[in-house]
Amino acid sequence: MVQSYRLDKIGLVNREKKLSFKFNGKKYFGYEGDTLASALIANGVHLVGRSFKYHRPRGFFGAGVDEPYAIVQLYRNGETEPNVRATEQELFEGLEAKSVNCWPSVNFDIGAINNFLNIFLPAGFYYKTFMWPRSFWYRIYEPFIRKAAGFGVASKEHDKERYEHKYEYCDLLIAGSGPSGLASAYAAAKNGARVILAEDKPRFGGSLLTSDVSINNQSGKEWADNIITELKGMTNVTVKNRAQIFGYYDHNMLVMSERVTDHLPKSEEFTPKQRLWYIRAKQVVISSGSIERPIVFGNNDTPGVVLASAAKEYMKVYGVLVGKKPIVFTNNDSAYETAIEFKKNNINPIVLDSRQDSNSEIIKEAKSLGIDIKFSHVVVAAKGYKKVKSCDIAEISEDKQNLNQIKNIECDCICVSGFWTPTIHLASQSGGKTKFKEEIDAFVPDKSKQKEVTLGSANGVFTLEETLKTSFDKGFELSKEITNNNNSQQIPKVSEKKHSKHDKFWCVPLPKGKKYKRFLDFQNDVAVSDIELAIREGYRSIEHVKRYTTLGMATDQGKTSNLNGLQLVSNIENKVVPAVGHTTFRPPYTPISIGAIVGREIGKHSKPTRKSPMHNWHKKNNAVFVDAGVWLRPRYYKRGNEGLFEASKREAENVRKNVGVCDVTTLGKIDIKGPNAAEFLNRVYTNAWLKLPVGKARYGVMLREDGIVMDDGTTTRISEHHYHMTTTTAQAANVLSHLEYYLQLVWPELDVNVVSTTEQWAGAAIAGPKSRDLLQKLFSDTDVSNEGLPFMGFVEANLFGVNARIFRISFSGELAYEVNVESDNGNFMWEKIIEIGKDFDLQPYGTEALSTLRIEMGHVAGSELDGRTIPYDTGLDGLVSKKKDFIGKRSLLKKAYNEKDRQRLVGVVPLDKKTSIPEGSHLVKDPKGKLPNPKLGHISASCWSVEHNNPFSLAILKDGKNMIGSKLYAMSPLKNKTIAVEIVSSHYVDPKGERVRS
Amino acid sequence: MLYIKCPHCGLRSQNEFAYGGDASVKRPELNKEISDQEWDEFVYLRKSPRGKHLELWHHVSGCRQWIKVLRDTSTHEIFNTYKSEEKVG
């Protein structure tokens, strides 16, 4: 197919390389260097989508990041992405894209009926329409809104692409490679500063690519190319294209999204699709340029109405004509460059200038080229549905109120220019205020808040000469402060055409009797009438008007619409624009993919995975793993067809009958050393620690200052001033921070040091009646008899030549030991235990059996110490010292903590001795009681008691001590279960604790 | 993301630190009889000023020292940082 709108001799695309692509199923051709937008326009395609609310036809409006219309669904390498701006998506071989927000097709869209029903969709229609009846919300309104909302469809498939994050530091970060960016980067880099220069487009140079200027007798583009080439060759400079700095955060942290392979048919292996850069800069130069704003007129959303600067860019960069019968409608001189460019390419434009006259250099040139210029003329309304076919034009009175001599002229595009709006997003995000600059009718940054400076047209400076001068000066000055170097550059000589003043005119009045829609926000279909309605309804604050009408709330965030919206509000309210103010600029400047934000932190990479030194043995021996915090722990070891229940029951039974071994490496371990270590522990734990002898372990409970139990565990006195503390797996990090807090800030006079040794030790718990016999075989030269190593005893021993620590402590309620060796010897220890354990019917057991054993013992753990319980609630009364003070003790005097019917730890058994009680069930008196049914307590942990062969649970129950023997009901609405239960003691096995001492 | 100067390690990004709240809170001495109100104020009541605030940060992914940071809560400006034992003022 012929690219009938492609110009022959102009543009920067590579005509040697033809690319084929598909749009809405139809095949087209473009060139390397095209965007999807330029390639479609070259093929005469202007209808690309439908608008959000009224489903009006949508074409192209801009040529870059500001594009409000041309949003497509992209298909690339078997994946699909919604919300892609065709003006930014570079063409690649085999690209496929589809229109969004239309059904069944972009040419015939059923939703366009909204356009004719538009009196039902006024400003705030969400709030007005979907309010009642309430019962309609879930069934009718919500599905309707969901169906109507958004542009395109997110893929339900897992994103196979790779995204990365990168942290970077620099002296100067420069956002934008237009004249101000290049000049400041060059001056700073030459003065020795470390510079990062970021350009969001594929090509560097910004406005220099399209403006008719010369710098040092080179064209703007040549000068830019030379500067970029030189910068790229410097080791202190990083130059990035396709990189959008979208957020300015605290302390000069900026975030940049680099589209690494979005322009290629697919990403190479190990190459990310996108890369997110977190850049901490000493100084920031905001050289983000400016965006042309439209003039508002009737049906100004018709495909074929484009920004004048975009029309110029399509010609000069892509060699593409947006139309062959153009109207250029302007209130300023810059659009004449577009008109002249048309003329140079043998197209005859008609210029309508709202000003009464102007005789600047560029207008003289246009006149000399024979361009038809009509001053005091405006476009009243575009005509045509899916593409501009003609337009009504009129002469406008001096006061801009009256239209005379309306007539229709034929055209196929309207290139509109309402002057330029500085892109102040980053400057505003940095926290700085803005000020309204009367000469340009737009906001510019006021005083810098952070270490940043805004240069060039982003700062409202629209002449190249001044831009280059200030940018060279600033780049040098900022770099000098950082590097102390003094190499300044010669400011180049500039030749450019002087412009005369623009006209404040921005909105064409409606002719008498006409009701054309005049759009402000093209993506969210917000028309002049919507803003007028909102203000009639009483909305005053610009922030409220924005949210009520959705002005500027679309994915383009109002880049082309915000200022005209402010103009309108200020006109209606008879205020000046600065008095109305503007809405807050928030990051991101442009939509950022979720993939880029998440980076590599997906799936298993979202947190570290910690494995014990015995992990591979567990894996080889059919362990089924469970996440325990960041650790992977064996939940059970599967034999044959066993499931979780059978396997964990077998393992727990074997501990009660013979002996089992469990990997307890994950327990937190903290080494505590110093002459005041005993005193410190005495303050940290609720029980007494001053008299613990060397070689003995003690169980301890620590509280937060509010009296809630923080953690529990055993601590062993290794030597006079050396203790080994264990914490629960989950709380290890918190406990260390807690200890450091008290040592560093509260009691700095205590001479104690703490350090985590969790990873230094591998641990194995050996539990069961045969554990001592096994231990004796493992440690043949150590006396592990009841006398040699009594309950809560500790000894250092020799495990076949490996140093080991043996603690006689028990979590299971059986005679038990924990053996620790240095991590590197963990696997050796484990295999020795397994090997020698065979003689004693040893089986490894996982966390499920471990839980079963502790639950039926009534031994509390994380599900009881859940951040809501005090020691009295969990049967730990005996550990609370009455004599000494400790962290959190004063809180235990609270009245509520000492109520007679305070919650207590109890055991719960189902009356039928068969039905397991779901954890989290509520205990109630009357299962049919009126809602809300008073809750007496909750089931904290459940197991199948291997000792009694029936279900058993622990519960925290109100007045629990006095409830033993009573009958209640456990209700789980989630599992739809109501179970009659009996309350029993929490010590379901060996209540006197004889086995651990045997 | 804040850039915090750890007095032990130098300038580090906020993600190396954990926030520790108001640094002016003083724990009542051990074994001292105090009223319920005094104790509750210590445990629960914290000022939440707009403006200058002396606060604790814990350099958890660094030197593991608790430090004091004088920060403006509305602008995030950090005026100074101190070691735990340093007098502020």
A58-73 per-position pLDDT tens digit: 999 999 999 998 999 9
**Would the CATH topology of A166-290+422-486 be identical to that of A294-418+498-517?**
yes
pLDDT band at A895 (very low <50, low <70, confident <90, very high): very high
Interface of A with B (CB under 8 A): 167, 249-253, 278, 280, 431, 449, 683, 705-706, 733, 736-737, 740-741, 744-746, 748, 885, 890-891, 893-894
Judging contacts by C-beta atoms under 8 Å, the chain A residues touching residue B56 are: 745
**Domain for residue B88, yes or no?**
no
Per-residue pLDDT band for A103 (boundaries 50, 70, 90) equals low
* Candidates 1.10.10.10, 3.10.20.440, 3.90.550.10, 1.20.1580.10; CATH matching A14-125: 3.10.20.440
Shortest CA gap B66–chain A (Å): 7
At A251 the three-state DSSP class reads helix
Q: Is the pLDDT of residue A880 over 70?
A: yes
Predicted confidence (pLDDT) per residue in A562-607, tens digit: 889 998 999 888 888 888 888 888 999 999 999 999 999 998 888 8
Give the model's pLDDT for residue A50: 83
Q: How far is A745 from chain B (nearest CA, A)?
A: 6
* 3-state DSSP assignment of residue A298: strand
Does the pLDDT at position A120 exceed 60? no
Interface membership of B18 toward A (CB under 8 Å) = yes
Q: How confident is the model at residue A131 (pLDDT cuts 50, 70, 90)?
A: low
Break chain A into its structural domains and give their ranges. Answer: 14-125, 166-290+422-486, 294-418+498-517, 518-584, 668-845, 899-997
Which two structure tokens, joined as six digits, stand for A879?
């550990």
User: Alpha-carbon distance A847 to A730, whole Å?
Assistant: 14
Q: Would an 8 Å CB–CB cutoff place B75 in contact with chain A?
A: yes
By the CB < 8 Å criterion, does B1 face chain A?
yes
Contact B39 A253 (CB under 8 A): no
Position A119 pLDDT exceeds 60? no
Cβ distance of B58 and A705 shorter than 8 Å: no
Q: Which residue of B has its CA nearest to A683?
A: B30
How far does A167 lie from chain B, in Å, by closest CA? 10
pLDDT confidence tier of residue A52, bands split at 50, 70 and 90: confident
Mean pLDDT of chain A: 94
Pick the CATH number of A166-290+422-486 from 3.50.50.60, 3.40.50.300, 3.40.50.740, 3.40.50.360: 3.50.50.60
| Chain A, chain B: beta-carbon pairs less than 8 Å apart | 56
Q: Which helix (H) or strand (E) segment is A212 a member of?
A: none
Residue A118, pLDDT above cutoff 90 = no
Q: What does the pLDDT average to over A817-842? A: 98
Query: Diameter of chain A by CA atoms?
Result: 115
| Integer Cα distance of A829 and A832 in angstroms | 5
Q: What is the pLDDT of residues A413-444, one digit of tens each?
A: 999 999 999 999 999 999 999 999 999 999 99
User: Which own/partner pairs from A228-235 qualify as long-range (CB within 8 Å, at least 24 positions apart)?
Assistant: A228/A177, A228/A182, A228/A204, A230/A186, A231/A182, A231/A185, A231/A186, A231/A189, A231/A195, A231/A197, A234/A189
- CA A98 to CA A86: how far, in whole Å? 10
What single DSSP character describes residue A503? P
Residue-wise pLDDT tens digits, A480-494: 999 999 999 999 999
Amino acid (1-letter code) at residue A882 = K
Whether the CB of B33 is below 8 Å from some CB of chain A: the reply is no
CB of A842 closer than 8 Å to CB of A774: yes
Q: Which residue has the higher pLDDT, A952 or A56?
A: A952
Number of domains in chain B: 1
The answer to whether A998 and A810 are in contact (CB under 8 A) is: no
Q: Does the CB of B84 have a partner CB in chain A at under 8 Å? A: yes
Residue range A11-38: mean pLDDT, rounded: 96
Q: Is B56 on the interface with A (CB under 8 A)?
A: yes
Q: From the list A280, A744, A885, which residue is nearest B31 (CB)?
A: A885
pLDDT higher than threshold 70 for residue A110: no
Predicted confidence at residue A806, as pLDDT, reads 98
pLDDT at position A55 is: 82
* Per-residue pLDDT at A556: 84
Q: How many CB atoms lie within 10 A of CB A279?
A: 20
CATH number at residue B75: 3.30.2270.10
CATH of domain A294-418+498-517: 3.50.50.60
> Given a cut of 60, is residue A883 above it in pLDDT?
yes
Tell me which of A122-126, A915-919, B78-82 is least confident: A122-126
Q: Do residues A715 and A724 make contact, with C-beta atoms less than 8 angstroms apart?
A: yes
Nearest CB to B2 within list A251, A706, A893: A251
In a domain, B53, yes or no: yes
Question: Which tokens go with A922?
Answer: 């509520």
**Is B2's CB within 8 Å of A706's CB?**
no
pLDDT single digits (tens) A601-625: 998 888 899 999 999 999 999 999 9
Instruction: Let me know if residue B89 belongs to a domain.
Output: no
- Closest of A669, A738, A753 to residue A704, by C-alpha: A738
How large a percentage of chain B has pLDDT more than 90? 96
pLDDT category, A152, cuts 50, 70, 90? confident
Cβ neighbours of B36 in A, within 8 Å: 893-894
Whole-angstrom distance between the N-terminal and C-terminal Cα of chain B?
26
Range of the domain at B49: 3-25+38-83
Q: With an 8 Å Cβ cutoff, are A744 and B43 in contact?
A: no
Whether A245 and A256 have beta carbons less than 8 Å apart is answered as yes
> At A901, phi and psi to the nearest 5?
-95, 25
> What is the distance, to the nearest Å, from the Cα of residue A979 to the centroid of all Cα atoms in its chain?
44
CATH of A668-845, one of 3.40.50.300, 3.20.20.70, 1.10.357.10, 3.30.1360.120: 3.30.1360.120
Q: Work out the minimum CA distance from A744 to partner chain B, whole angstroms.
A: 7
* pLDDT at A914 exceeding the cut of 90: yes
pLDDT band at A154 (very low <50, low <70, confident <90, very high): confident
pLDDT band at A777 (very low <50, low <70, confident <90, very high): very high
Residues of B in contact with A705 (CB under 8 A): 27, 42-43
The answer to whether residue B30 is domain-embedded is no
A278 vs B contacts (CB less than 8 Å) = 1
Closest Cα to residue A676, out of A661, A660, A657, A689?
Answer: A689
Chain B residue nearest residue A450, CA to CA: B77
pLDDT of residue A140: 66
**pLDDT tens for each residue of A714-735:** 999 999 999 999 999 999 999 9
**Backbone phi, psi, residue A467, to 5°:** -60, -50
Q: DSSP string of A533-594? A: HHHHTT--SHHHHHHHHTTT-STTTTTTTHHHHHHHHHHHTT--HHHH--PPP-S-SS---H
Run of H or E residues at A923: strand A922-924
- Cα A339 to Cα A912: distance, rounded to the nearest angstrom: 90
Q: Which two tokens stand for residue A244?
A: 């959008």
Judging contacts by C-beta atoms under 8 Å, the chain B residues touching residue A683 are 30
Q: How far is B49 from chain A (nearest CA, A)?
A: 19
A237/A298 Cα distance (integer angstroms): 49
B30 to chain A, closest Cα gap in Å: 6
Share of chain A above pLDDT 90, in %: 84
- The CATH class for the domain spanning A518-584 reads mainly alpha
**pLDDT above 70 (res A117):** no
Task: Tell me the per-residue pLDDT of A552-564, one tens digit each, with 9 for 90 and over.
Answer: 888 888 898 888 9
DSSP, collapsed to helix, strand or coil, labels residue A531 as helix
The token pair at A401 is: 């109120």
The interface predicted TM-score (ipTM) is 0.98
Q: Do B44 and A706 touch (CB under 8 A)?
A: yes
Is B51 an 8 Å CB contact of chain A? no
Are A334 and A420 in contact by the 8 Å Cβ rule? The answer is yes
- Chosen from A170, A248, A251 to mutate, greatest number of chain B CBs within 10 A: A251
- Please write the tens of the pLDDT for every residue from A628-650: 988 999 999 999 999 999 999 99
Nearest CA distance, A743 vs chain B (angstrom): 10
In a domain, B12, yes or no: yes
Over pLDDT 70: what percentage of chain A?
Answer: 95
pLDDT band at B88 (very low <50, low <70, confident <90, very high): confident
Better-scored residue on pLDDT, A623 or A153: A623
State how beta strands A842-844 and A659-663 pair: parallel
| Distance (Å) from the alpha carbon of B43 to chain A's nearest alpha carbon | 6
The reported pLDDT for the residue numbered A641 is 96
Predicted pLDDT at A651: 98
Over residues B23-65, the pLDDT tens digits come to 999 999 999 999 999 999 999 999 999 999 999 999 999 999 9
pLDDT digits (tens, 9 = 90+) for A254-275: 999 999 999 999 998 889 999 9
Whether the CB-CB separation of A562 and A552 falls below 8 Å is answered with yes
Residue A273's pLDDT is: 96
* Residue B33 located in a structural domain: no
Distance from CA of A553 to the nearest CA of B (A): 26
pLDDT over 90 at A965, yes or no: yes
Nearest by CB to B43, from A706, A737, A740: name it.
A706
For the domain covering A899-997, report its CATH number. Answer: 2.40.30.110
The residues near A461 (Cβ < 8 Å, ≥ 6 apart) are A180, A455, A467, A470
Residue of B nearest to A278 (CA): B1
On the question of pLDDT at A113 being above 70, the answer is: no
Distance from chain centroid for Cα A574 = 41
- pLDDT of A146 over the 90 cut: no
Read off the pLDDT band of A53 (50, 70, 90): confident
Is the pLDDT score of A1 beyond 60? no
Pairwise CB contact (< 8 Å): A250 & B76: yes
Integer Cα distance of A708 and A423 in angstroms: 53
Q: With contacts defined as CB-CB under 8 Å, which chain B residues touch A891?
A: 39, 43
Tell me if B44 is assigned to some domain: yes
B43 touches chain A (CB under 8 A): yes
In chain B, what residues touch A744 (CB-CB under 8 Å)? 65-66, 84
Cβ–Cβ below 8 Å for A252 and B84: no
B27·A280 Cβ contact <8 A: no
Q: Does B47 touch chain A (CB under 8 A)?
A: no
CA distance A845 to A834: 12
Q: For the residues of B73-86, what is the DSSP string, one character each?
A: TTT--EEEEEETTS
B27 touches chain A (CB under 8 A): yes
CA distance B1 to chain A (A): 5
Distance of CA A526 to the CA centre of its chain: 29
Residue A115 is predicted with a pLDDT of: 65
Question: Which of B13, B76, B84 has the CB atom closest to A744's CB atom?
Answer: B84
